[in-house]
Each structure stands twice: as structure tokens, then as C-alpha cells.
Structure 1
């Protein structure tokens, strides 16, 4: 939907029509680079570049024993006690953490505690890591001893009694009803029949103790954050048992619970809301993502981005991981409907990195999906400019100045102004700089273009071109 450019009007007439909305929570955001499926030594080699671009944290793919070159194989653990997979080994991981720490960047680790690898195609037992891997350890004893995180790798880690749905309980079952909490949290994630699915771990004392030992070793190496994969499929009892006060001390934990909306949607009410209240952890802000997709869709309105948290359609700022794309969306056929038009995704990134509240996550892959859209995204000029704005306004409040179906214009106290126009025609917006506390005789320079706004009077006109964003940062 296109709306003609707002006509220039006198300040007295415009004053009556300007709308103001204030978002109260303060930002404590530091941008996370999701270095999806990057080799650990590649992350280490780019540590200085990552720091120079303004990132404060790097989320890396799961680090433990796993095999197979496909990206999804990283989400099928065989053994927690050893880091050994196509992305690198324990030494590579430690070197990466140290390289990032040396330039002031933290390491976040992706964690898979819901299940172990689906290896039914080669063996029927539920012993992990299995005889084949144990034989590999024995044949290279010196090497594997040197990269062992904890425990005795001459013996197995888990057996049949460490899983839900063992055969003495009537056999493992696949999830059949994704709206049923018990079904989702106690049964297996499966593909099409006859796939037996991913063996679902039971949070007994042994399983919990081994998962805690793994987390503690990563913390000892310097990891300061954990992303909990498939948190929707774990009971909050299990999550709290593993992430006790000792493990959580000094680290940021956030879970992946995919929903199609916020308050009122079944996924939110049945899974995300209980997770947030029962664990106190952060989570991906899928409710906000749903609002973003709605706003940028054909016929959608930017009004929905004014204050979505006010009606339960965004998480609280101190609990939110905000984004425009996650790895699941392009890499899983069932979620690809959530992909946005590339220009809309650019505008969504401006909103995510321009607003106050949440920790923004920027996804950058190696073209695992074949779309070729997110390769080197982390260092694109537009992303670099958006991070510059985000870091320059961090901790400042957010006040929405004007909005309509096509446009939203908001400021970050006096430090910056963001304009996002999803429609084809450019728009002028007059701003009362006295009421809105923008500083005079200071340049506000757009971090995405060469546009500079210098305010010299009470009323100032900001222009946002069609299908574009402006992020004016005070110099």
C-alpha cells in the first residue's frame, strides 16, 4: 500500500496532528553475531574485524562430538565430553574464545540438551557415544585425552535408561500433537515415517550432572552465554535443574521457543510464557518478529510497531533476543514462509537495531540454504551502519514521534532519530525539536547514507525516501 507524501504544513497545524508514544524500558543491548556453522578458527581469524564492526558477542554452533558435514549434524550430539566435529576441536574452540576475549568480544555457545543424535540407521541401541566412537577414542588415545573436557571417555556417557520412551515403557514415540505440552516435551522430534526420531533425554540425576559438567567446562574456558536449542521440547524442570544458580552466575541464557505470535497465540500461552516465568531466562522475541512480518506485509501497517509490548506482542526488553532472521527460517521448509522480502528484511533490521529494548542478533551463514542472502551479512555496509547507530544510542530511551500505515519515525532521546518507510513514495515529517528535545546546531548524520540533518529552528523537516530507512545519529 502506498500513501502520498505527507504535505508540508504550517507548524501550528502540524502540532495538533503529531502523535507521541514513549516506550519506557531501557536498553542494555549488545549486538550478537550469529556466526552460523562457521569453523572456530575462522571466527578466531576474524576476531579483530568482528570487534571493529561493533559486535560485542559471537554465538557459535554447538561444540561437542558430532559427525557429518551437513549443518544439521551439529544439532545431533554424540558426546558432550569432547569437542570434535567438522568446525574444530577443543583446542580450536579454546583458541577462538581467547581470540575474541582479547578484543573485548564475548563467546556464546549453542546448546543441545533435549536429545542425542539419531543413529537408528546404523544401530538399534541407545548407548552414546556408541561403540564406533569409543573405538575411535581408543585408537587415538593420546589425542582424545588431550581434548577431553571432563569424564572418562574410555566408557560410554548415556544408556537406554537415560531417555524418554524406552522400550520397557512401550517404545519411543514421535510427537503427534504440537499443541500438547506433554507430547512436545516427552516424545521425539521425528521426520517422515519410518524415521524413529531423535532420542529424547530424560532429566534424571545422571543426565543433569553430565550436562552441568559440560556447561561448567565451557564457562571455565570463557563462554559467557548459552542459547538453549529446542527449549520448547524440554520441561522447565529440566532446564532449571541444569541451569542452576551456579551455572547461571555471570552468564546470559536464552531459549529458542518458536511461536507465531505473542499473548493469545497457543504457542506463546502454552510454551513461551511459562518458560519465561518459570526459568527467568531470555528468549528469541518471536512475538515481535510476528509483528514485524505483519507490519511489512502487503496491507500491513507500521502502526503495529509503535509499542507492541503494550499488548503482549513483544517480550520485555530485558528478556528479548530480537532478530529479522534466524537459522531455522531459511533452512527448514516448514518455516520458510516466514522469509521476508530482502528490502523488507533490510527495513526490519533498521527497526531491530534502531529501537530500544532487547539484544539484537544478526545472522550470517555460509549459504547453507542456497539463498545467498546472508553470506557475509555481518560486514555489509548497511549492517555496519545500523550497528554504529545502535551502539551510539545504547541506553537511551525511545520515543515514537510520528507514524502511519507506511512510516514510523522515532527518536532515541536526543541522540538519534530513526525513520522507516515501507511504501514506495517518500514522506516528509515535521518535528517540534523543542518538544522532542533534539539539539540545535548539531549534525545528525545518517549512518546508512550521506544525508545530514542540521537542526537550526523549532520545527525541522525529516524526509524518508520510499522503501528506505534513515538512522540519523548526532555527531
Structure 2
């Protein structure tokens, strides 16, 4: 059974993954804004390299570079062969052209990586890529050698010896099942063949990552890390592969340090690897704070309450691709205004590497299509880069409003409630006097000429003032 024929459970977990960070200068890497060009053709990313750089993005996460069939978004997460790049969104030539075009503009490429499993195809076959594909390679050697990353295409990559037993996960709280059995749809689906990290498999996966690094990739997102043992992850990601790379993981949790899935999966992942992770605890904290009954003050120091990852290990975001495209995660979707406020928060704060999701699938009536260049997002990215490296200090926090300054260079104010609010600034030593502060979103300005200044935040709005 193909993935799109299966139940919501397999769709719910198919792309739960991991990207790990271990760069030589992690503090600098973590300050960059990442564009997730979800389901974009590599040529589209290349053609927009100048625009992406001008907006202020420093990294672009792109579709998994491997061989897969079918053009649905989830097809990219069902590998047939890791040794070549060829799918609906591009091949090795278009991938390399994209990397080079972005590099010329000072932007790096992060590759989405699938190491946990292979494709659910050919009635549960476990020989990859299969004899038919090997014949295709042999019949057009010139083309396929041009798409090759590593290895010998005269032979298969994996056989039945390289997979765990064909059992489907039935209990997603059982760590052993989650990390050793298959992601399956409804019976009688055979599921995604789950790779066994024997020495041969690990060697092939290392060769794959090194080949991508040699092409100029500067970061990895490893899909389905929740479903891999941390031992496997550490075996594949050697110190030489990680050197100079940003690696971060997607391990979806329903809350912070007190939640069972944090204790079972995200906590051990952070403790047993040196990789970063998507900050799902913070996403849940933002959702809770933005509810009518929530308190914005809870976002003043979320790490202190166990509701956010340490800033140097966090990729922060209001939305990821799994949320709207998988039934089981759609409850995490915020309304437009709350998502706007959440973006202002993650792009305004000091901690974390903020990620902007920009979709090409058209889900939810094209809601997130071209979000990367929407006016408010562009202004927020500008503000983030303008105050990059500045410290953060609280200014105001109550149920409706959260405000904090970024050194003397910037001030962020978020008002989730319907009526406008005025906040008091104690200005001595905290701001520049007789200098305009301009809101990146509205263009409104104020200046400091006394020891106390009151500034206005309209209802259901954000303000991101920077020293002009």
C-alpha cells in the first residue's frame, strides 16, 4: 500500500524526524533565519536566490535529495535509493545549481535527510532499489551516473539483511517499538521497511551524508529521528561529517519537560546527542499563551519553566510542514493573527534559530504559499537581522502583553488582546535618547527625551521597533 492510501496514523508519523546541529560556531549558526522551502522545485529555489538573500534569509531547507517516485509531498520521504538524486522536484544537476546559486548570495543549503526507512512499495519488498530500477540505470548509464552521489549503480544498495523485522508499531509510547518496528497504515499495510543500523547500513549512510557535504550542503535535517536509536544517529553523524554543519531534529512533543513524549524521546535525544531540535515545547507554550485564558507573561522565560529548549540548541517556529499536512497534528495550527504574533515572538527574541515555513503544496487554500515574502514576515526577518547578537531584557509582561528589548537596538511588543495597550519604558541607560525608534511592521516611530516613555501597541498586533 502506498503512503497516500494508508491511514492517518502513518501520515501522522511519516515525517517526524530529526535534524542535528554541531557546527564549529554554533552560536553564530543559531542566530540565522532559516527558510523552509517546503516542496519547492530545486530550480525554483535557485531562481529566487537573489530574492531570498535580499529578504535576509541565511539558510534554506530543501526537499530530500534522493531517488523517489511520485509527486505527492510525502513521496520525498519514501527513498528508493540514496546513491542518486532524482525525483519530481529535481535531480543532482538542479540540486548542485541551486546550492551554487545560493552560495553566491551568501545563503547556505540544508538538506532534509531520510535515514530511518525505505519506500513502502512492491508489496513490501526489501531489496532497494530493486531489479527494475537497476535495469533502468543500466539502460541509461550516462544520465544516472550524472545523478550519482556515491557507490556502484550496477548493484543494489540494501537487501533483506539490512532491515528490522516486519512488525508494525502499535504503541507509540513504547520506545522499543517506535525505534525498531515499522511505521504502518491500516491492516494489511506492510509499512515502511525499517533499516537496521548494521555496519554496512551505517557506512552507506555516512557515504551519503559526506557526498552531500561535498556538494556544498551546510546542514542536515534527519527525518524520523524519533524512530531511530540515538546510538544509530551518533554512529552515522561522525565528528568529521558534523564539522561545520548545522544539524537539527524534529521530535514532535505535546509539551515541555513534564510531558511523557519529552521524557521518552526529546529529552534523551538532547542528552545523548549534541544535535539541535525543533522547539516543540516552545510551540506549545506559544499556543497556550495566545489562548484567551493564557498569559503572555508565561513567554517571558519559557526555558526556566521547562517550556522551551536552551536557545543554542533550538530551532523555533510557529508551524512546520507536518502540522497542516498530517491529520494528527492539525490541532497545532494557529489562527492567522496568533501565528503572526508567534512569528514576531520567535523572530524578535534572542534565543533559537527561527524558521519560516513557505509551502508549495497549496494545502489549506494556499494559506502558506509564498509566506517567505509576505510583508510582515519580511519586516520581521529584517528586525531579527538588525538586532542580531544583542541581549534580551524584559520590559512588560501580563496576561495580554509581552514586551522585551534587545539591548539598546530594539524593542518588541506583543498584544494578544482586542484593545490597544500602552506600556511604560524606563529609559535611563536602556535606550538611545533623541533618536528615532521605527516599527519594522507599521513604520510608526517614537523617540526618547525623558526618563519615562509610554508607547502604544494596538490590539491583536505586534510592534518591532529598531533604532533608526
Identify the TM-score tier after normalising by the shorter chain.
over 0.9
1:59 aligns with 2:61: yes
- Give the counterpart of 1:451 among 441, 444, 447: 444
- Once the two structures are superposed, the pairs formed by residues 338-417 of structure 1 within 5 Å of their partners are 338-417=332-411
Distance in structure 2 (CA, Å) of the matches to 1:56 and 1:126: 39
2:328 maps to 1:326? no
Structure exhibiting the larger radius of gyration computed from Cα positions: 1
Match of 2:173 among 173, 179, 185: 179
- How much has 1:26 moved relative to structure 2? 7.7
Q: Is the 8 A contact 1:35 1:43 kept in 2?
A: yes
The 1-side partners of 2:418 and 2:186 are apart by 43
Instruction: State the Cα deviation string for residues 157-197 of structure 1 (Å, max 9, x = none).
Output: 000010011xxxxxx11111111110100011111222111
Work out whether residues 26 and 396 of structure 1, in 8 Å CA contact, stay in contact via their aligned partners in 2: no
Query: Which residue does 1:141 correspond to in 2?
Result: 141
1:328-355 CA-partner distances (Å, limit 9, x unpaired): 0000000001100111000000001001
2:366 is paired with a residue whose SS is: coil
Per-residue Cα deviation, 1:234-288 (whole angstroms, up to 9, x for no partner): 0001000000111111101111100011111011111111111111100000000
Where does the alignment leave 5 or more consecutive residues of structure 1 unmatched? 1-24, 166-171
- Name the SS of the counterpart of 2:187 in structure 1: coil
Distance 1:160 1:225 in 2: 30
Q: CA deviation at 1:123?
A: 3.6
Count of residue pairs brought into register by the alignment: 442
Q: Does 1:270 align with 2:272?
A: no
SS at match of 1:370: helix
Q: Deviations over 1:451-474 (max 9, x none)?
A: 101111111111000000000011
Q: Distance in 2 between matches of 1:125 and 1:89?
A: 25
The gaps in structure 2 that reach 5 residues or longer are: 1-25
SS of 1:213's equivalent? Answer: helix
The separation in 2 between residues aligned to 1:148 and 1:337, in whole angstroms, is 40
- The 2-side partners of 1:444 and 1:372 are apart by 35
How far apart, CA to CA, are the structure 1 residues paired with 2:182 and 2:361?
Answer: 29
Q: Aligned equivalents of 1:180 and 1:359: distance in 2?
A: 31
Q: Is the 8 A contact 1:26 1:395 kept in 2?
A: no
Which digits, 9 at most, give the CA deviation of each residue in 1:34-86, with x for residues without a partner? 00010001100000000000000000010110010100000000001000001
Alignment of 1:101-120 (within 5 A): 101-119=103-121
- The SS at the match of 1:325 is coil
Query: Contact 2:39–2:361 (CA<8 Å) still a contact in 1?
Result: no
Quick check: 2:362–2:369 contact (8 Å CA) kept in 1? no
Task: Give the alignment's Cα RMSD to 1 decimal.
Answer: 1.2
Provide the residue aligned with 1:473 in structure 2.
466
* Aligned equivalent of 1:285, options 274, 279, 295: 279
2:124/2:191 contact within 8 Å kept: no
Partner residue, 1:159 = 159
The whole-number CA distance in structure 2 between the counterparts of 1:177 and 1:407 is 41
Alignment of 1:43-58 (within 5 A): 43-58=45-60
TM value normalised by structure 2: 0.93
Change (3 A) 1:124 1:182: closer
- Partner Cα separation in structure 1 for residue 107 and residue 404 of structure 2: 29
Please, what TM-score do these two structures have when normalized by structure 1? 0.92
User: Structure 1 residues 298 and 195 mapped into 2: Cα distance closer, same or farther (>3 Å)?
Assistant: farther
Q: Distance in 2 between matches of 1:309 and 1:278?
A: 19
**What is the CA–CA distance in structure 2 between the aligned matches of 1:232 and 1:126, rounded to whole Å?**
22
Seen in structure 2, the aligned counterparts of structure 1 residues 153 and 308 have a Cα distance that, compared at 3 Å, is same
1:460 aligned to 2:462? no
Aligned to 1:11: none
Is 1:298 aligned with 2:292?
A: yes
Find out whether 1:426 has 2:426 as its counterpart.
Answer: no
Q: 1:187-266 counterparts in 2 under 5 A? A: 187-266=181-260
In structure 2, distance between residues paired with 1:356 and 1:237: 32
Q: Report the counterpart of residue 21 of structure 2 in structure 1.
A: none
